[in-house]
Every structure is written in structure tokens, then in C-alpha cells.
Amino acid sequence: MTGEQKTVSFTQMKNGTREDYELLGEYEEEYARELPGRVLASLRALEHSLGGYKVSRLEHSLQSATRAFQAGESEELIVAALLHDIGDELAPHSHSELAAAVLRPFVSDKTHWIIKHHGVFQTVYYAHHIGGDQNARERFRGHKWFDDAAKFCEDYDQNCFDPEFQSKPLEFFEPMLRRVLSAPRPEFVL
């Protein structure tokens, strides 16, 4: 958009007009269409995030998505694997919930649940080493997607820290990410 950007007439939402909200709707649609690009930028930022591992957080994410792709998982789950730790930057204590919130409008309830809870499911591998509850995920035992979340962590998370693994590059996953993040479920479209 060139020139001065149009703005609404109100300073309090309750005083907005139909024209104001139609204008905002146009801006919000455009902004939503740009989501895949912002997510890709956030993924790239993981290259220089959280040290101590043998691979970067971006490489961890690429390994996760590559393993899901190689296993023949759905495009939705491949993208979810790619994004499962995207919350690390802004929500280190609740990264799973943040990643799940980003994905929620675009994925099934099952995939959303898996990503939302993968953090607690992952503790089975390490919590006992740091004084935590290794069996924290047991509170979800009996949930219809418990086994799916456990499988996700086993196959596409805990084993994705290998500097020798040959991941596909982010560019390989970009078209998938753009397709998934460009098609919100109907209940999320205003």
C-alpha cells in the first residue's frame, strides 16, 4: 500500500462503525495471508536459539519434520512436527501451548492436542534426571490421543538431536507449510 494508511475513526471499539470494521477486516485478511512468511522467519530464528544441544533448534525441527515425512505422515502432521517447538523463543515454560495455538486454526483437533501436550509427554525421557516427574504424562492416560502423543514424541521429537542425520532443508517444507497455514478451518474464519 502506498501513501498514508487508512485508519479507523474510533479510539474505543464500542464507538466503531461498520466502515471501521470492514476496513479492519481488509487489513486482517491481508495480515493473515502473510502468516506463513512470519512463521518461516520464526523458524529461521531458531537457528540461533537455546544452546547446549548438538544441533540448533531449527535443525531439531527439520529432523522432526523430515522423520515425519519419511514415515509417510500427513502434510498436516509434517508441518506440526516442523513447528512443534516454535514456541521456545517466546514461551520457554509453555512452548507446547504456544505452538499448538499457532497451529490450531489449521489442523485437526487430534494434531492440535498432540502438539499442545508434547512437552509433558516428552518429560518421560528426562524429568527423572532433573528432579521432575518422569510420569507426568500419565495424567492423560486413557485420553483417545494419548498413544498418538507418545508416538509423536518417540518418533519425531526425542530422537531429533542427531548432528549426523540428513534433514531436508526448510525450503523443502515451505510449500507444505504455506498450504497448511493458508487454509484455516471454517470455524476460525470470521
pLDDT digits (tens, 9 = 90+) for 97-128: 999 999 999 999 999 999 999 999 999 999 99
**What is the chain's Cα-based Rg?**
19
Residue-number span of the structural domain to which 82 is assigned:
33-182
What pTM does this model have? 0.92
Q: Position of cell 528432579?
A: 131
Residue 62 in contact with residue 82, Cβ under 8 Å?
yes
Q: Residue 3: is its pLDDT beyond 80?
A: no
* 24 domain residue, yes or no: no
User: Residue 172: what pLDDT?
Assistant: 98
Assign residue 75 the CATH number of its domain.
Answer: 1.10.3210.10
- Quickly list DSSP for 110-177: HHHHHHHHHHHHHGGGTGGGTTS-TTGGGGGTT-TTHHHHHHHHHHHTTT---TT--PPPHHHHHHHH
Cα(170)–Cα(160) distance, rounded to whole angstroms?
15
Q: What is the pLDDT of residues 21-43, one digit of tens each?
A: 999 999 999 999 999 999 999 99
* 20 domain residue, yes or no: no
* 73 domain residue, yes or no: yes
Q: How many structural domains is the chain composed of?
A: 1
User: Residue 152: what pLDDT?
Assistant: 98
User: Residue 2: what pLDDT?
Assistant: 57
Integer angstrom CA distances of residue 109 from 39, 113, 164, 168: 20, 6, 34, 27
* 93 domain residue, yes or no: yes
* 17 domain residue, yes or no: no
